[in-house]
Amino acid sequence: MNALEIANASFGYGAEAALTGINFELKVGESLALIGPNGSGKSTLLKGILGFAALTEGAIRVLGQSPKKARALCGYLPQANTRDTDVPVTTRQVVTMGLFAELGAFKPLGAKTKIRVEQALFRVGLTEQAGELFSELSGGQQQRAILARALVSDPKLVLLDEPFNGLDQPNRDELLETIKTLRSSGTSVVVSTHDLDLAREVCSHVLLLNKKQIGFGEVNKVLTLDLITETFAGATVELDHHTVTTTDELE
């Protein structure tokens, strides 16, 4: 069974497609970096995998099921601006939210549930901050807490939307380690990022996007100067310690 099977798909909101021509397969245990400039459709694809963005054309199977059915098997780290820090919840309470679908309305938090929450906190290095208010954590710690919430239900597929944005080096390193551990445990990971070096470090495959699929394949085969230039048309990017100015910008 593949983690993702997407065939000639377009995704969008309403009738209009924001992303077209998506066509790839990702095996269980492989990890995929979604790379493209702002507005290229990275978040749209992640939302399409979750069934939040409409499939306007083509077909998609997530872990062998429809996106809506597979949602419970996915862990999702949304972009950092979706949380309301006025709500006074502790880091532990945030992680526990990842088990609410299993627990339902009334089932109490038993010993096993509590152990799972503590394990998820440990995986992201937040054991000491478990009792602190989420709003009082640093930006990087908040991202890791939300990642722990995504991991606590032991998902088969983890989707991370720009998880490295605004992170300092220690938090970035912690997050990288967590993703590497996930990979080694056989969990499939899809991560959107602007950072090509990060893609190389933690991912087996790359999908280049700019409102359509520019390229897909193993990291070293796809991160070529030509494809990067096409993907980031109109922008300047760092590639192998060289600054590349794309053709649109020169024009």
Residues that bind another protein (CB under 8 A): 50, 52, 71-72, 74, 76, 78, 82-84, 86-90, 93-94, 97-98, 100-101, 103, 105-106, 133-134, 146, 149
User: Whose CA is closest to 202, among 165, 171, 175, 241?
Assistant: 175
Nearer CB in complex with another protein: 159/223 = 159
Residue 139 contacts residue 166 (beta carbons within 8 Å): yes
Q: Shortest distance, CB of residue 98 to another protein, whole angstroms?
A: 7
Cβ neighbour number for residue 56 with a 10 Å cutoff: 18
Q: Shortest distance, CB of residue 72 to another protein, whole angstroms?
A: 5
Structure tokens at 212: 């359509």
Nearer CB in complex with another protein: 11/76 = 76
Nearer CB in complex with another protein: 133/239 = 133
Nearer CB in complex with another protein: 76/232 = 76
Q: Shortest distance, CB of residue 115 to another protein, whole angstroms?
A: 19
Residue 49 contacts residue 207 (beta carbons within 8 Å): no
Structure tokens at 137: 């954590």
Q: Shortest distance, CB of residue 163 to another protein, whole angstroms?
A: 13
Distance CA 123, CA 33 (A): 21
Distance CA 202, CA 45 (A): 19
